[in-house]
Amino acid sequence: MGIRLNNRSERLAKIERMLFRSSHGLRVVEIAEACAVDRRTIYRDLATLEKNGVPITQENGCFLINREYYLANVRLNLNEAVALFLAARAFSRHADKQNPHVISAMNKLALATPQSVSAHIKHIAESGRATPVDRSYVDVLETTIRAWVETRNLKIWSSSTRTGEIAAREFSTYFIEPTLSGGLYAVGFDHLSESVRSLRLEWVRRARLLDTTYKIPDDFDRAPFLASMWGMTSGDTQETRVVLAFSADVTPLIKERIWHTSQRIETLDDKRCTLSMQVVDWHELLPWIRSWGAQVEVLEPLTLRHQLSAEAHQLRQLYTPSTASAQIS
């Protein structure tokens, strides 16, 4: 039996929180027991919440909140509001595909900040609207988020990183995580391989909610999937060894932090250092490697080395004056 609250406003707030946190809804008798009141009181409270704008629906004898139309009340101080904006801004700058919900969230954050700050947030949000929206990607993202919230299984159709072929599988989403390069991954149980794997949402062509549900195991370890800044171990793709040699000038910077859980750092005789690690897709590292310019050399794999060598050759041709331009100058 729950604790009886002293006033109705506290009880209404508790009922709203209970319904929002329940993925599959609650029966009136369950709510009544949690609030230590009779069922007639709960029916009146539910009617009051609906009148106050809480989108309550009823399915199979259970009451639940329609999260697509629910506006959560979150109290933020100024520093917290700006921190959320900066996080959204950082992710949107690198994201492979635009997420219109980020733009919408920025506009709402602008309403909670002083004019000097809100003017900038609104400007960023409006400039983001110019980027085309991939509706199929947004549908996949929204469906995956709903499956995560409601702990419902998904039927997904995704492409392979190696062959590009579309394959269907059932998937249980444990969490969603972004990467430094702007990708979004869903980590969960893949029923086809019967193992926990990561799935890049940009590679999913279609997703459909299923009626079946799942439970995240109590002993599930998130740490291995959160350790890398360039993506995650997927389990269905062979990992590749990457070895990078950094100049002596930046060796102290490389040594001072953990870039990957599998990393090994060795100091060379010429005071350079090598950073070696096992990654699923070395393409995720490209923006980071390019950012070091001539201060890094790719030793392995050869495919990555050859790609950067080809890019360097193109840059050399671009910036080497031709005979005609030399005569003009």
Separation CA 124–CA 110 (nearest Å) = 10
Separation CA 233–CA 248 (nearest Å) = 30
Q: Chain centroid to CA 99: how far?
A: 11
Pairing of strands 296-300, 56-59: unpaired
Strand order in the sheet with 184-190: 195-200, 184-190, 166-178, 152-159, 204-213
Hey, how many other C-beta atoms are within 10 angstroms of the C-beta on 298? 20
Q: What is the pLDDT of residue 6?
A: 61
Q: What is the pLDDT of residue 230?
A: 57
pLDDT per residue as tens digits for the range 71-121: 777 788 999 999 999 999 988 887 778 889 999 999 989 988 899 999 999
The fold of the 240-318 domain, in CATH, is: Alpha-Beta Plaits (3.30.70)
Are the CB atoms for 59 and 25 separated by under 8 Å?
Answer: yes
pLDDT per residue as tens digits for the range 144-162: 999 998 899 999 998 765 5
* Long-range CB contacts (within 8 A, 24+) of 307-311: none
The fold of the 8-65 domain, in CATH, is: Arc Repressor Mutant, subunit A (1.10.10)
CATH of segment(s) 135-222: 2.30.30
Q: How many CA atoms lie within 13 A of 9 on its CB side?
A: 0
Q: What is the pLDDT of residue 93?
A: 82
pTM of the model: 0.67
Q: Is 91 helix (H, G, I), strand (E, B) or coil?
A: helix
Q: Backbone phi, then psi, for 258, in 5-degree steps? A: -95, 120
Render each residue's pLDDT in the chain as its tens digit; 329 residues. 566 666 888 898 889 888 888 878 899 999 999 998 999 999 999 999 988 888 898 888 899 888 777 777 778 899 999 999 999 998 888 777 888 999 999 998 998 889 999 999 999 998 888 888 899 999 999 999 999 988 999 999 987 655 567 889 999 999 998 876 677 889 999 998 898 988 889 889 999 999 999 999 999 998 877 766 555 554 445 678 999 999 999 999 999 887 887 889 999 999 999 999 988 778 878 888 998 999 999 999 999 999 999 999 998 888 887 654 555 55
Q: What is the pLDDT of residue 228?
A: 60
